[in-house]
Chain A
Amino acid sequence: MAQPLVKKDDDRDDEVDYSPFLGIEKGAVLQEARVFNDPQLDPRRCSQVITKLLYLLNQGETFTKVEATEVFFSVTKLFQSRDMGLRRMVYVIIKELSPSADEVIIVTSSLMKDMTSKTDMYRANAIRVLCRITDGTLLTQIERYLKQAIVDKNPVVASAALVSGIHLLQTNPEIVKRWSNEVQEAVQSRAALVQFHALALLHQIRQNDRLAVNKLVSSLTRGSVRSPLAQCLLIRYTSQVIRESTNDTQTGDRPFYDFLEGCLRHKAEMVIFEAARAITELNGVTSRELTPAITVLQLFLSSSKPVLRFAAVRTLNKVAMSHPTAVTNCNIDMESLISDQNRSIATLAITTLLKTGNESSVDRLMKQITNFMSDIADEFKIVVVDAIRSLCLKFPLKHRSLMNFLSNILREEGGFEYKKAIVDSIVILIRDIPEAKESGLLHLCEFIEDCEFTYLSTQILHFLGIEGPKTSDPSKYIRYIYNRVHLENATVRAGAVSTLAKFGAMVDGLKPRIFVLLRRCLFDNDDEVRDRATLYLNTLGGDGAVVETDEGVKEFLFGSLDVPLVNLENSLKNYDPSEKAFDINSVPKDVKTQPLAEKKATSKKPTGLGAPPPGPLSTVDAYEKLLSSIPEFASFGKLFKSSAPVELTEAETEYAVNVVKHIFDGHVVFQYNCTNTIPEQLLENVTVIVDVSEAEEFAEVASKPLRQLPYDSPGQTFVAFEKPEGVSAVGKFSNMLRFIVKEVDPSTGEAEDDGVEDEYQLEDLELVAADYMLKVGVSNFRNAWESMGVDFERVDEYGLGPRDSLAEAVNAVINLLGMQPCEGTEVVPPNSRSHTCLLSGVYIGNVKVLVRLQFGLDGPKDVAMKLAVRSEGETVSDAIHEIVASG
């Protein structure tokens, strides 16, 4: 017999560490679980055994497949008992065991019986369990009951059905969407939680229908939503609607702002906070709109509840980034939070003050921060470091004390992310504040003397190699760098060798001494280190004389690589070792813009929905391979650029066709990707007939038909044109798909012998100037601009006429030119009246082009633009102006 689980009245004071689960063992509990099979069920005993099983699972114990199945089967027997307490436990354990599909069948009927039971508790729980474990096939059978349950009188039952609906929407959206009438009814429920769940589900069902969400929000904001939770949801949906509608209303009152403002007077703190946060996050929020929200948040700052203080200070911290003046009113309350027991609150208060403070308060704040740096977690330290960096950029005169602070914390204990944040900050300060350079570099040198992170060491060494030689006394850094060669792992040693060589190349006076050091590295036990030392010794003129380094050598060794590394890697992989040496010019320079990876995207993203199809990284290579394999196109030379596919058909038509424009120096090739979506058809001899009457400079030279296009397996057909060499000829092409269609017997899959010739009209295709421009970024636009020189600079001014917004005008010009925006200048801050945008690219013929665009608002809506172009060729600079003038 197992010992009883509950024995409250036993004398237990003598044992200090008494636990009813002391010495519990999986094997024994599994044995005990046999009581589930007893013909005479003892509900109490069974409940206890289930609790023990749950306890084991909770402690991280795992059951083997066989064990789990066995337990599951015996648990199903417990449905015979009518003991409610036991039944509750049965529901819980079934959810925990998460049975497989074939096992679920065993309990389905029992659960369905419970779902229609008169007992509310049975109905609610059976719904939750069934929806949790079912795999969708069952759903149609129980759909009727679920719809009834949604409008059930009992709120627990209704909530259970609604919440299950929310979960099922992920897996079986088409079924759950059929319930919207019932869900709509439940939104009006008097029970608070039912309203909350119904609103959540209704919104999820309609979230892709902007109009419906709009209607939902405007009807509910007028009515009274009872539950605070539902009110929070409504606030979120409302700000979503506001976000999407701001584009149309530039001036005047913001729709729904009054609703948000009204929520600031709600009786639940949760709702007040949600509304205040929503207001602070409005796009281009005005200070008049902000004021009431800031006022309630300020009240929260002096609350006795840490959660409230935290929430308020965190929100104010964010506001301080965009509207520092709006937050200054709270500074007194904020300063008292610096000594808050909760370190997270203190940190947020400090960083907020750093953002809103003035130059005179910096030293006082720094002292306070130093006191508690050791108490807080790395995440908050990073926040502090970031705040200090921006403070330093704001008040460059204070760089000495701030740089000291950074170097002090750099010496203390800390994880990688924290150290990296500090190093990054110092690097930024060195770059932007010239006076801070020497001290900053020395701090970094000291740091690498005792740095456990290889990544940081190599980064710093690289940075030293760039900045060190330009300082007044480069020789003082050599010691730190050469120490690395003795003390570190191979990666750092190799980095140190390169840095040494850079000093040798840049500072001629140091060359003889550097060479001595480099020669010592020739005996390193790592290949890479030896190779680098040998390379540098040979290319820099290994006799060690004080001579000026050849410019070409410098460029070769230390010049920036003008091709993206990903492309280089792919080209090297494809390179076939042969007589022909690898040509770096054959590497495509096109930057593949990758979708910004969301933070923790993998864990948050719902499967199937919204996830962009993983784009093939090496499309350029794939295209290049494909085209060079076709003999007709082999003589066209090197592929300059391939466009993204352009759809030539509507979605869901009989034949889906898109086209990729391949640009060569003297030719253009259109690659038509065709898909046949009719199972009963086989297409043969597929070609595209192109009419070039509106593209006079082009002449068709070759065409490669597609022999067969069976159902649902895409194929390509190509058409090639000749065009004047090196010129960005533009034009419009009308396309007609021509093919022979053959009927296919769906049962056998065999095609008939005779086919009929047929045609299918496709949409027109345009070749525009942007097709001749490669998006190639530069890391430092100003340097690139200055080194390009004024020889071929062309400046002119344009009126762009009335535009919706400055941002829209900027985007239009970027798209027109097809160039790569640099340094984030494509983003126009809201409410700004002027903007400068920097673009770079490579024009056909491999001509580098840089563009500086200055936009200004001229009158209420009219946008004026000044366009300055620098490039490596006069004609190209003129061509850019021509594009804009004609566009």
Chain B
Amino acid sequence: MPDTKVRSTGCGSINSCPAVKNILILDSDGKRVAVKYYSDEWPTNSAKLAFEKSLFGRTLKSNARTEAEITIFDSNIVIYKFVQDLHFFITGGDDENELLLATVLQGLFDAIALRLRNTIDKREALENLDVIFLCIDEVVDQGMILETDANAIAGKVAIQNMDASATLSEQGGVKATTYPCSCLGAVMGEGAKTPNFLKFLMTISQALASAREHLTKTLLK
């Protein structure tokens, strides 16, 4: 990702606050599915790719399917876990608490499993890439651990989807009523006198119609 505005994470070992340097999800060829870097240790995309490539090659042979595995790589601690054709990695500094990093990775992993209804593979991940991005976004914020509980993470990502249907109908209604009304109010002031008034009314009725259509569409979804 082009992190043009790299900010110091503020969570180095200096103030002893746990920090995540990156989260990687790669496929079985080492290609990116979703990656997120929080440290400026890898300033360019090619540096990131090089890191992913050698890390992938290093860990490929290990069996990290039942339990997460761990290694030291370029003076960083990397914890990784594989499922199907997906490889999950999390990187932290070499004085980081290993178990803490493992908890973060497990939280992310379980949250994604929850959201994808336990079918975690590359295809499913790519088709629900928005969910993956949102999960990563909820787990770590600029290197700072945000949440480690899988249910909480999945819940935060889910809110929108569950509520979406509910609020959408509500929103549709809101749109259909308040928006045109305010519009109407606005045009009534000066518009009533203009010959274009009828035209405005037409626009409003059109807006109403489209809103209604939109509403039914979302309800029938």
Binding site for B on A (CB under 8 A): 5-6, 8, 12, 18-21, 40, 43, 47, 50-51, 54-55, 57-60, 62-63, 82-85, 87-89, 91-92, 95-96, 98, 121, 128, 132, 156, 159-160, 163-164, 166-167, 169-171, 192-193, 196-197, 200, 203-204, 207, 228-229, 232-233, 236-237, 240, 269-270, 273-274, 277, 304-308, 310-311, 314, 341-342, 344, 377, 379-380, 599-600, 603-607, 610
Contact (Cβ within 8 A) A55 B129: yes
Contact (Cβ within 8 A) A54 B133: yes
Contact (Cβ within 8 A) A606 B35: no
Asked whether any CB of chain A lies closer than 8 Å to the CB of B39, the reply is yes
Q: Chain A residues near B205: list those with CB within 8 A.
A: none
Min CB gap A129→B, angstroms:
10
> Which single member of A5, A43, A59, A121 contacts B32 (CB below 8 Å)?
A59
> Which single member of A60, A62, A273, A600 contacts B41 (CB below 8 Å)?
A600
Q: Can you identify 15 A-B contacts, CB atoms within 8 angstroms? A: A6-B127, A19-B126, A20-B126, A59-B32, A84-B160, A87-B160, A89-B134, A92-B133, A98-B5, A229-B18, A229-B100, A305-B68, A310-B98, A603-B41, A606-B12
What is the bound-complex CA distance between A270 and B97, given in angstroms?
A: 7
- List CB contacts (< 8 Å) of B142-172 with chain A: 142, 144-149, 152, 156-157, 159-161, 163-164, 167-168, 171
Contact (Cβ within 8 A) A310 B70: yes
Q: Chain B residues near A92: list those with CB within 8 A.
A: 133-134, 137
For the A-B complex with A273-B98, A308-B98, A311-B99 known, give 5 more contacts whose Cβ atoms are closer than 8 Å.
Answer: A55-B129, A88-B134, A167-B10, A167-B141, A311-B98
Contact (Cβ within 8 A) B41 A342: no
Residue in B5, B130, B144 whose Cβ sees the most chain A Cβ within 10 Å: B130
Contact (Cβ within 8 A) A58 B32: yes
Q: A85-B164, A274-B97 are in contact. Are A20 and B127 (CB under 8 A)?
A: yes
Contact (Cβ within 8 A) A40 B214: yes
Asked whether any CB of chain A lies closer than 8 Å to the CB of B110, the reply is no
Asked whether any CB of chain A lies closer than 8 Å to the CB of B216, the reply is no
Nearest residue (CB) in B for A607 is B8
Contact (Cβ within 8 A) A156 B156: yes
Nearest residue (CB) in A for B145 is A229
Contact (Cβ within 8 A) B129 A51: yes
Nearest residue (CB) in A for B168 is A83
What is the bound-complex CA distance between A600 and B75, given in angstroms?
A: 10
Min CB gap B62→A, angstroms:
7
Q: Mostly helix, strand, loop or mixed at chain B's interface?
A: mixed
Nearest residue (CB) in B for A82 is B171
Q: Chain B residues near A54: list those with CB within 8 A.
A: 129-130, 133
- List CB contacts (< 8 Å) of B47-62 with chain A: 48-49, 58, 62
Q: Chain A residues near B72: list those with CB within 8 A.
A: 344, 379-380
Contact (Cβ within 8 A) A306 B68: yes
What is the bound-complex CA distance between A21 and B175, given in angstroms?
A: 34
What is the bound-complex CA distance between A533 and B184, given in angstroms?
A: 98
Nearest residue (CB) in A for B214 is A40
What is the bound-complex CA distance between A144 and B182, given in angstroms?
A: 31
What is the bound-complex CA distance between A307 and B10, given in angstroms?
A: 26
Contact (Cβ within 8 A) A12 B123: yes
Contact (Cβ within 8 A) B130 A128: no
Q: Chain B residues near A277: list those with CB within 8 A.
A: 97
Nearest residue (CB) in B for A85 is B160
Contact (Cβ within 8 A) A273 B97: yes
Min CB gap B36→A, angstroms:
8
Nearest residue (CB) in B for A344 is B71
Contact (Cβ within 8 A) A604 B98: no
1/0 contact string of B95-121 vs chain A (CB within 8 Å): 001111011000000000000000000
